[in-house]
Amino acid sequence: MSNQLTEEELASLMPSEMLQHKTPIPTQIVSSDEFYPDPQNERQREAEARMLAMADDLGGKQGLDRRRFFQTAAGMAAAFVAMNEVYGPLFEVTKAEAATPAMAQERANSLKDQFIMDMHTHFLRDDTRIMGFVEMRKAVGKAGWNKQLADHEQTIEDLKFNNYKKEMFLDSDTKIALISSAPSDTERDWFLTNQQMADARKKVNEEAGSRRLFAHCIFTPGQPNWLENLDAGLALNPESCKGYTIGDNTHKETSRYPWRMDDEKTTYKGYEKMVKAGIKNVCVHKGLFAPSVEHQFPNLRGFVDVSDVGQAAKDWPQLNFIIYHGAYRHVGGDPKVAMAEFERTGRIQWTSDLADIPAQYGVNNVYGDVGQLFATTLVAEPNVCAALMGIMIKGMGVDRVCWGTDALWTGGPQWQIEGLRRLEIPEVMQKKYGFAPLGDARGPVKTAIFADNNARLYNIDPKKAMLELKSDRFAMIKAEYEKAGPEPSHTRYGYVVPDRSIDHSVFT
């Protein structure tokens, strides 16, 4: 995305790619430039310290340095042990698993064929900071260190696209993904155009020899020529459409065309075209608008909550409305605020409002996607993560909560996959609020969230899909990759608040 953060804000941050420690689970908030990230808090520092200590101890006993230990299944288990020690027993993991590579790998192998559809993903952001890595690749190629880099001109597209394929399909258990984008009132600031998403889908699926990647068509109600542009996007045969009611999320300060989902005069014209084109799924960006952001952009407040969802869903029963980020408001805000709100009221803005819609409006076509919501709260305050999952499942039904990671903003998605596999809502929270347990990694609740709900929405038969995917070229490449020894980067792509005790002048 383009720079939504101001120059002053960017100057106070550093690229998350430059973080010193590549732990299996992030230990501080990473922003994709959609919000200003919170600094690493005390409990996150403690979790990081525990992870590093275990890596030194357990990895040392196995003859592995920190980096290599963290790249193993035992290293991932150790990260969750550290999380439990800091936040309480929320994750299914044992110290024995962290200390015994064979045990950890056996568990990982038993789950690697789990069918997972991640229908909320992005390529690496395209901005001036990351161009430094392109220059580095050019230098490496010219020096002759890597002949492949010298054979052709290095571009940001190479870096983004190749990295996306590795992180999504080699370093994670994701089987099918959907590539998304974000629009802007400034044409050059679209992250990916509808044509570029369609081209990426074609390239990945041709390389794989199967249907691995789906694509969005972005629609922009109110923008000049938006209906004609929607027609052109629909002609590319997208699997679903996506919109941002905030309008220009990249440049909130100048957003000229915010819109409401229940606008009969404008937005409904787009729905008509979607239905005519055979589109059934409409994904809508909601939330990610903490009170501090509202203070900056009060004029957009009426467009970012879920007050427009229920009526639109009732008026268009032939469409499924998938609300991205579960409408969670507090991304970019202090997780203590969300936790205090939940403990005081049993609710969390605006996810609880979303969960109320099916009962309030008598509809069954509203879904909650957990992209960014899950990643951010798992890192910042996993008790909030557990509460959010409980709220959505209780209000919307387990068959209306969908898996999405918003990767690659927070790195490859495997740590989030492991997070959901291991996460359990604390028993005290279950009893107090009437939340059902999440259960086993392959149990009905997590299976529905990981795959069954998205499969139903996108008309995919999981069993047939797995048969096809097990024998495609990506599966063969992954088998060779794992045989040689996988090397997940644990790199997160975005911005973080640097530790002021460290000299970061080398990053500028």
pLDDT digits (tens, 9 = 90+) for 314-357: 999 999 999 999 999 998 777 889 999 999 999 999 999 999 99
Is residue 97 in some structural domain? yes
Q: Are 291 and 219 in contact (CB under 8 A)?
A: no
The reply to whether 361 and 433 lie within a common domain is yes
Domain boundary among 96, 112, 128: 112
Which of 112, 139, 173 terminates a domain? The answer is 112
Per the structure block, which two tokens stand in for 354? 């979303």
105 & 252 share domain: no
Q: How high is the pLDDT of residue 133?
A: 39
For position 287, which CATH number holds? 3.20.20.140
Domain that holds residue 272: 117-469
Number of domains in the chain: 2
Q: Which pLDDT score, from 0 to 100, does residue 111 have?
A: 97
**Is there a single domain that holds both residue 108 and residue 238?**
no
Does residue 198 share a domain with residue 72?
A: no
322 token code pair: 């998938």
Whether residues 163 and 93 share a domain: the answer is: no
Give the amino acid at 109: N
* Residue 319 within a domain: yes
Residue 487 lies in a domain: no
Q: What is the C-alpha to C-alpha distance for residues 208 and 462, in angstroms, rounded to an integer?
A: 18
Q: Could you say which of 84, 112, 140 is where a domain stops?
A: 112
Shared domain for 373 and 462, answered yes or no, is yes
Q: What is the 3-state secondary structure (H, E, C) of 183-251?
A: CCCCHHHCCCCHHHHHHHHHHHHHHHCCCCEEEEEECCCCCCCHHHHHHHHHCCCCCEEEEECCCCCCC
DSSP letter for each residue of 339-388:
HHHHHHHS--TTHHHHHHHHHHHT-S-EEEE-TTHHHHHHHH-HHHHHHH
Report the pLDDT value the prediction gives residue 455, as an integer from 0 to 100: 98
Looking at the fold, whether 194 and 96 belong to one and the same domain comes out as no
| Residue 367 bridge partners (DSSP) | 322
pLDDT along the chain (508 residues), means of 10: 53 61 76 66 90 93 91 94 95 96 95 97 55 42 43 49 85 96 87 90 95 98 98 98 95 95 98 98 95 92 98 98 97 84 97 98 98 91 97 98 90 93 98 98 98 98 97 94 75 61 31
Q: Is 428 exposed, middle or buried (0-12, 13-18, 19+ CB in 10 A)?
A: exposed
Q: For residue 453, is it within any domain?
A: yes
Residue 25: partners with Cβ closer than 8 Å, 6 or more residues away? 47, 51, 76, 79, 80, 83, 378, 379, 415, 419
- 507 is a domain residue: no
- Identify whether residues 72 and 138 lie together within a single domain: no
Task: Output the CA torsion 244→249→253→257 (10° steps).
Answer: -30
Considering the domain boundaries, does residue 442 fall inside one?
yes
DSSP β-ladder status, 320-324 and 117-121: unpaired
Cα angle at 496 between 492 and 499, to 5 degrees? 120
194 in the same domain as 45: no
Residue 482 lies in a domain: no
Same domain, 244 and 328: yes
Question: For position 366, what pLDDT does the model report?
Answer: 98
Look at residues 343, 279, 350 and name the one whose alpha carbon lies nearest to residue 308.
350
Integer angstrom CA distances of residue 441 from 72, 111, 144, 396: 19, 8, 46, 21
Are 121 and 220 contained in the same domain? Answer: yes
Do 231 and 358 share a structural domain?
yes
Assess if residue 477 is contained within a domain. Answer: no
